[in-house]
Amino acid sequence: MNELREKANRSLEKIAPFGTDLKLSSYLRDVKEWEETPLSELSDDLRQRALLTGVRSDEELRCGTYFQLDHSVIFEGVKKQFEGKIEILSTKEAIEKYDWVKDYWWNAVSVDSDKYTAEAELEWDNGYFLRALPDQKVVFPMQACLFLSQEEISQNVHNLIIAEEGSDLQIITGCTSSARSGLHIGISEFYVKKNAKLTFTMVHRWSPEVDVRPRAVTILDENATFTNNYICLNPVKSLQRYPTAICAGDDSSANLNSIILGAGNADIDIGGRVVLKGKNTSGHVVSRCVGKDRSKIHARGQIIGDGEGRAHIDCRGLIVSDEAKIYAIPMLDGLSKDCELSHEAAVGKIKEEELWYLMSRKLTEDEATSLIIKGYLDPGIFGLPKELEEEIKKVVEITTKEVM
């Protein structure tokens, strides 16, 4: 651990290759500590904001919950019928409970990647440990909420997610805030073991002056499947995320999907990288971006073919205001004669014939535009289970109505 801290200290000024650079010292570290609280006793504001990211305080259709408010873990628990199938702890508890957790810690993500990974090690504010035990196929999703409530603070979480061999797990995480400004750094390390399947859906609903810096890497073993769905539909000051999935095992598959609505003055730099290493691997990077107001979006996708496999990037942007900007940046790195890589990228505007058609059905121009955008941001591209897809669609409907 001392070696990790030494690496982190040497990287505190290391600027990330993408996204707006931030001055970490401008965020506060002295915060109020919160007491543990049953979900049923959360304030109406907390419950409502969490619900709008897909996190339910009643835990209906959920197998367990992790809830962190600023730096404090206020609730964690597994529903009784799922005990012995999954584990939910804070990462600090997990490290104390299991010696082997240290073998995963900063193994997928490098602690010295940039100043944000360094900060997460040196100023570590918990995070969740979510684990599906071997051969457990869990019907209902786990849920986790990371909430920022105090003004101008930084929240530096380090999450560890493990789908053990033969397991099948869904996770929905909601990240949100009542504070208008602040910084969220989220380190997430995923391990999907042999014959396991993990679907991870993240909904970000931040305030207009919050800066967000997630860092995530997934390692897939033989015949493992990982799907990462990301949704951000609210104005945010700046957001930069570029998750990587490494298909290390033969017959493994990774799918990275994003739906982004840029609004206000948001500066958004998002993407996804899939590395094909094993034999017969596959990957997809899919993004749907809408730019409105004065927002700026960089949508990146990268496939690195370093083994036998095939992968595709599908990046599409829709600009709906004169001052918005979208940059689509697909990259294909063919490092093996046995890889097949392809990409498709398009940025454009709403087609006039689509508007006229809807307006001929008695819709105003604003109503028609809003309907087209909602269709463009349809989470149906994620291929979620029906019940979860309907929940996410409700979140998208409410959010786009507020923003539009």
- List, for residues 358-379, the tens digit of each pLDDT value: 888 888 888 888 888 888 888 8
Question: Does residue 196 come out as left (phi exceeding 0), alpha (psi in the -120 to 50 range) or beta?
Answer: beta
Q: Are 276 and 303 in contact (CB under 8 A)?
A: yes
What do you get for the CA distance between the two ends of the chain, in Å?
47
| β-strand partners of 132 | 86, 163
pLDDT in tens, 164-208: 999 999 999 999 999 999 999 999 999 999 999 999 999 999 999
pLDDT in tens, 30-72: 999 999 999 999 999 999 999 999 999 999 999 999 999 999 9
Q: Are 82 and 92 in contact (CB under 8 A)?
A: no
Burial status of residue 20 (CB atoms within 10 A of its CB: 0-12, 13-18, 19 or more): middle
DSSP label of 141: P
- Residue 30's SS3 state is coil
Distance of alpha carbon 285 from alpha carbon 270, whole angstroms: 11
Q: At CA 111, angle to CA 109 and CA 115, rounded to 5? A: 115
Helix pair 352-359, 365-376: axis angle to 10 deg: 120
86-90 vs 128-132, strand pairing mode: antiparallel
- Residue 90's SS3 state is strand
The CA-based diameter of the chain, rounded to the nearest angstrom, is 67
| Tokens at 200, concatenated | 């991870």
Q: Looking at residue 356, what is its pLDDT?
A: 86
Q: How confident is the model at residue 233 (pLDDT cuts 50, 70, 90)?
A: confident
Distance of alpha carbon 83 from alpha carbon 133, whole angstroms: 10
Q: Are 112 and 11 in contact (CB under 8 A)?
A: yes
**Residues 95, 225, 256, 388, CA torsion sign:** negative
Contact residues for 221 (Cβ-Cβ < 8 A; gap 6+): 165, 191, 192, 193, 194, 196, 248, 249, 252
| Tokens at 356, concatenated | 């006229």
Distance of alpha carbon 49 from alpha carbon 45, whole angstroms: 6
Predicted TM-score (pTM) of the model is: 0.95
Of 44-48, 91-95, 172-176, 391-395, minimum mean pLDDT range: 391-395
DSSP-assigned states of every residue in 181-243: EEEEEEEEEEEE-TT-EEEEEEEEE--TEEEEEEEEEEEE-TT-EEEEEEEE-S--SEEEE--
Query: Phi, psi at residue 130, to the nearest 5°?
Result: -120, 130
Of 123-132, 328-337, 392-401, minimum mean pLDDT range: 392-401
Q: At CA 196, angle to CA 164 and CA 275, rounded to 5? A: 105
Nearest CA to 211 among 183, 233, 230?
A: 183
In the block, tokens 């049923």 appear at 40
Q: How confident is the model at residue 393 (pLDDT cuts 50, 70, 90)?
A: confident
Distance of alpha carbon 151 from alpha carbon 31, whole angstroms: 9
- Residue 139's SS3 state is coil
DSSP label of 257: E
Q: Are 271 and 260 in contact (CB under 8 A)?
A: no
pLDDT of residue 387 exceeding 80 = no
- Residue 317's SS3 state is strand
| Tokens at 318, concatenated | 């829709």
Q: Looking at residue 154, what is its pLDDT?
A: 98
Rg over alpha carbons for the chain, rounded to the nearest Å, is 20
pLDDT in tens, 256-296: 999 999 999 999 999 999 999 999 999 999 999 999 999 99
267-276 vs 296-305, strand pairing mode: parallel
Burial status of residue 352 (CB atoms within 10 A of its CB: 0-12, 13-18, 19 or more): exposed
Burial status of residue 168 (CB atoms within 10 A of its CB: 0-12, 13-18, 19 or more): middle
- Mean confidence (pLDDT) of the chain: 94
